[in-house]
Structure 1
Amino acid sequence: MDKSNKQYQHTSEVSPNYTVPVNQPSEGMAPDTAAPDASAPDGESKFRDTVKQAPVGMTILRGADFAVEMANEAYLRIVDRTEEELVGKSLFTGLPEVRAYVEPILLNVLHTGIAYHGNEFEVTLRRFGQPQQCYFNFVYQPLFDDDAENASGVMVVAIEVTQQVLSTQALQRSENQFRNLVTQSQFAKAIFKGPELVISIANESMLNIWRRRLDEVVGEKLVDVFPELKGQKFIELLNEVYTTAKIYRENEAVAYVDGPGGLKKHYLDFQYAPIFEMDGGVSGIMASVNDVTDKVTLRQQFAETADRLSLATDGTRLATWDLNIQTREIIHSGRMAVILGYDEDTVLSHAEMRDRLHPEDRHAIVEKAFQAALETGTYYYEARIIHRDQSVHWVRTQGKVIFGEGREPQRMLGTMMDITDRKESELALTTSEGKFRTLADSLPQFVWTADVAGNLNYFNRSMLSYTGHSGAEIERDGWLQLVHPDDREESWRLWIEAIREGGDFVFEHRLQRSNGEYRWYQCRAIPQRSADGTIEMWVGTSLDIHDNRLFIDQLETKVQERTQQLQVANSELIRTNMELAQFAYVASHDLQEPLRKIQTFATRILETENDNLSERGKDYFHRMQASSTRMQQLIIDLLAFSRANVAEKHLESTDLNLVLQNVKDQLSDIIQAENAVIKSDALPVREVIVYQFEQLFMNLIANALKFIGPNGAPVVEIRSGEVAGAAIPLPGADATRHYQYISFTDNGIGFDPQYKDRIFQVFQRLHNRSAYEGTGIGLAICKKIVENHKGLIDAVGKPGIGSTFIIYLPVES
């Protein structure tokens, strides 16, 4: 206990266990605690005997220098002094080290006559030859002589509590360390106190699993915080641990915890451990929990994947396996057992599989590859296995490591294949090198080999004949001398890169012939590897592609020439379009001017010379006016069709309901005259060329008002919606897209469906001009406007029933 925080206080009473040997009671003492009459020799003797035999330290101090009048054995043991060293002398002569601590208190008691007592008072005593930190509970009781007003001395009663204080401090430190251990643990931990399982501590990891804040759980009963645990086994297990004081552990236990979306299924590894008190009783339980839901779910998914893969590979030579690296549990297909020499339905452990490996390959190849896979994530080896009948087979294993948090390897998935046939073939090929050389020399292609460092060491006869060099000369001077100077740098770079990385070498370069001519060759080299995957040599071929290369160069030249021709043609097309635009301008202005004059003069003649003209003459002039009007309309429609072809695509976000209303306002006279009804759904807002869509709506509605059927007043219904491209019965519809449609349905005269394509062509009419006016361009303009918006237009009709025109526009992404 720190000296600055020692505990002591005034007291007006002395503990009933102690009596004061004076003739009158001390100030404030109750009458029943008055000291016995010390003036009587027998009384004083009995008192001193009592003090000496007391189990607590007691001493009597007299005067202002606090001379030790007497000290019992318990007190002498406490301060480690003899009676000769202490009695008859000032207290501070025998115990100088306590003076600074107790003298102020003693003086206060002596002067005021008021008792003091202290609890766990800290003082440093020199005991057993060295200073020791000690703790005492004490009483300083003032002593009064007969009829004296002031105290003449102090009686000290002291009990050493050093061990209790140190034990309490150690227990507190232990408790703090334990709490720090719990709160700082990376694993989820919590402490439940008492049989009611009140939550005392929960670290951050546990709070994350609980999805609660610390202030929401501390001091609360576990079942009050998680009522969903009622009916689950966890509360019963906790009660059992509290009762039996035995640790309980379980892995991958299923628990249901309430969350934002309701009860969620979790898999937990947990341990319940009892917490013991000093007397050995259980005071609480420490719960350690690890949420392994992701791990279990992943393993289940892997198992399902392995089952599906096993089904997919049944009947093939490929076996599949799934290894838990932590537990070495393995799931494998039936083919795996067959490859290792067992029946297909045999279930093997990982250790049993390893036992089938050839002893020479187990450490040198397989275990080495396994350790490398834990670092790189890729598992590969070719090794021998021994069947139970002692026959030797070769297998190739490939796998991939799946890592968890902190890049800790969790699982490994892979395949195994029996490659005995291939290995035997390789062995046969190795032992028949002479045959290989004979075969290579018979080939017209160049065949060559190189060592692991990339140095060429064999060339077939065709290559030596072509170059005019011997094999020794090429080895001595290097093969790069045969390559065209312009190709040497890139050839060398790619060859060194293939040697360094172990990949294939593929390049096209020119090789010099013995007569100095260069020809194009495609060179390819692949590495030959040993059973453990290391490169042992390189085998290369060079194929003459000179004629093909020249042909390709010529073809590229022709393509460039054709491209230039197309560019010229495109420029000519642009110029032609500009001329057409100029023509359209002339048609719009210059050609209409004579027509306006013809109409004007014909009208004036009919007005001024009407009486002088015969009926036939009047008819001629009326026909002339009608023809000029039709020609003017034809020019206007041709101009509109031309503008629809070449118009600039100034798209604006437009509410088509406003476009429709504008068209209805322009046609209001005709609508009123024909007593027509126009019904419409809510139309979409789209990016359109506004004036073109006004013309589109104008033409479609005007047609419906023109071609009126026998069924009374015209009715036009306009509908809008969305449809999948696959459902549109028109060529050019994109089946992968969706389209907005706008349909115009009328109750007019309709048309024969066989003419539905014809009506969208320029100058195509299905009716006599005398019956229905028009130039036959309106629907062609409509089609061109829809195409300008990357859409489609369709027409459906029945004679005498009516027509429907449907516009399909792609949905904007």
Structure 2
Amino acid sequence: MDKSNKQLQHTSEFIAGPSVPANPSYESETKFRDTVKQAPVGMAILRGEDFMVEMANDAYLRIVDRTENEIVGKSLFTGLPEVREYVEPVLLNVLHTGIAYHGNEFEVTLRRFGQPALCYFNFVYQPLFEDGGDAASGVMVVATEVTQQVLSKQALQSSENQFRNLVTQSQFAKAIFKGRDLVISIANESMLNIWRRGLDEVVGKRLVDVFPELKGQKFLDLLDEVYTTAKIYRENEAIAYVDGPGGLKKHCLDFQYAPIFELDGSVSGIMASVNDVTDKVMLRQQFEETATRLSMATEGTRLAIWDLNLQTREVIHSGRLAVIFGYDEATVLSHPQMREQVHPEDRQAIVEKAFQAALETGIYYYEARIIHPDQSVHWVRTQGKVFFDDNHVPQRMLGTMMDITDRKESELALKTSEGKFRTLADSLPQFVWTADPGGNLNYFNRSMLRYSGHSGEEMVRQGWLELVHPEDRAESLLLWAKAVQEGSDFAFEHRLKRADGEYRWYQCRAIPQRNADGVIEMWVGTSLDIHDNRLFIDQLETKVQERTQQLTVANDELVRTNMELAQFAYVASHDLQEPLRKIQTFATRILETENDNLSERGKDYFVRMQASSTRMQQLIVDLLAFSRANVAEKHLENADLNLVLQNVKEQLSHIIQTENAVITSDNLPHRHVIVYQFEQLFTNLIANALKFIGPGRDPVIDIRSGMVAGAAIPLAGADAAKNYQFISFADNGIGFEPQYKDRIFQVFQRLHNRAAYEGTGIGLAICKKIVENHKGLIDAVGKPGVGSTFIIYLPVEA
């Protein structure tokens, strides 16, 4: 068989698989080409060094996304120029050497649908030989596209890498065991710490080979069960023995075994997640043992013990606790029941507050009252400690309680250890510092160190005085030395330098801490930032000074105005009244000497002139009285108001007799008053009652006094927190409508015309001003045709 027939036979076997050897005499080229055309894989025949495409089946055309016209009868690289760089060297090598070339997952970029696309192929480049020739005349290409398989494999590999990274970077201990033999594939740092092994000591080895001590323990059987059943297994606080430097060591583990599935659903491995809780379990066991020992130690004493689950609020307590709450030892109490027996005044203010503080600080302490079922009150002292989990979540509270009713102890400050104190101090934004009994500062919290920019050693070495502003140092040092010497509290405001050089105001305080014998053991100090408040106070003082200056100017202006008003009063009193007196005098003389020579109209003019001048004179007098009530100096004297009333009645005796008036009065109080103003007040009120007489009846004026609460006074301005003395003037005159009660106290306000009742309309305004000068109130109540009542309210003197 020649080379050509051998090649055709090889090609047929490649396409259709092994068969009975073909007989070349019965095989035709046409049949061969038809067979190639129908092949499910891409096939093409290339001729010569130009690699002319002699034939390409449909599968090949689909692979390269070309039509038969675009590629057959042309050089391969004319139709597929984008593959020349990758393919031509390989084809030339096959053509020249006559050795076939096999490519697997060969990467090439093809133009598909007008766009370049990255593709992967498995192919064979088979040389073609002519009859009798030793050199290959062409190359047969057999290609299968595996792009999707390659991309899927790459995605799977990427997913596996991500999974491995997730396991490796997890903060929880994790490891992956492959196959039923449990070969360790991955173990992260946390798992290696638990195993106490290096990564090179475990990866690629069977779990049982790394830890032969697991034989006979349940873990290998559990792993095999998870592999077989494909079900997750979890367990908490399982006991395991692992070999270490000191031999087998007991561990308590929370763990989970989870199956790892392949794409076909089969289990290919197991992921183990482990948390070593040995320390937590041992600590709990220690707690339980401690509670047992404590219960035995306190048996027969007055000390009760209790254990509270902070998650469920379930409490376990000794029998002594029930006795403390007023029950027999066999009684079991609940936490809400005990809390309910706390005295109402102490429940929120002391117990609840201490409980909430304990959840933050870990320390539980209080002294409070409880109420027994027989309603008797007892004092108890409770001390306890909170235990937290790894996430600082409070889990349990363990403590004791003692009845201290018979010996209520004096308050003692709870002394904490230095470590706890520093932890608390470092969490505060305020500055906290301590000093030894001699006053040498030896500790500064983090806030103060951050503020100063120095370390603790630098602060102790350089001294806190270096932070104090130079202007404040001498006094700070003097007061601190005095406090240390006398053992008294230290308090001072000074400026402290910040790390950036800025000074801020701080209020510094320090208190000596003494032992039971009263000896100072240390000093605890704090420094509070008051810079903004200090600046505000300085600004406020500046504004007060400015306002004081303004008030001084205003006061000077007021004094000047009062002087001018006094001058006006003098002028009004003398200069204005003098012409009026002359007018009255001349009018009187004319009427007396020229009476016979005047006509009736002339006489009427002179009478009217006299009346007008008289009214003008009265108006001036009333205005002077009102002005005097406004600006007069308030020289208060302790006066008997009964004598003041008597003087007024004597001054008004003529009109009282003329009107046949009756005035009755209570025993009036003694008060510090401006005497002449109260004479004016009583005069105006009585004269007002004698002026507005009711028709057909003699005037009656009833004066009463007494006490009244400020809250009962129906006037704005009354102080409800004060008591008042009242003096009322009630008459049986013409009265007034209630809506005019405020109007009658205004200057020049009259309810009747001048023809009906004389007056200037100033009298009651003067009364109101006099009452206000004595920090009092005045009210009026009237009813037309019945009468009026004027009530004076004066605050009770201290």
TM-score when normalising by structure 1:
0.45
TM-score when normalising by structure 2:
0.46
Look at both structures and tell me which one has the larger radius of gyration over its CA atoms: 2
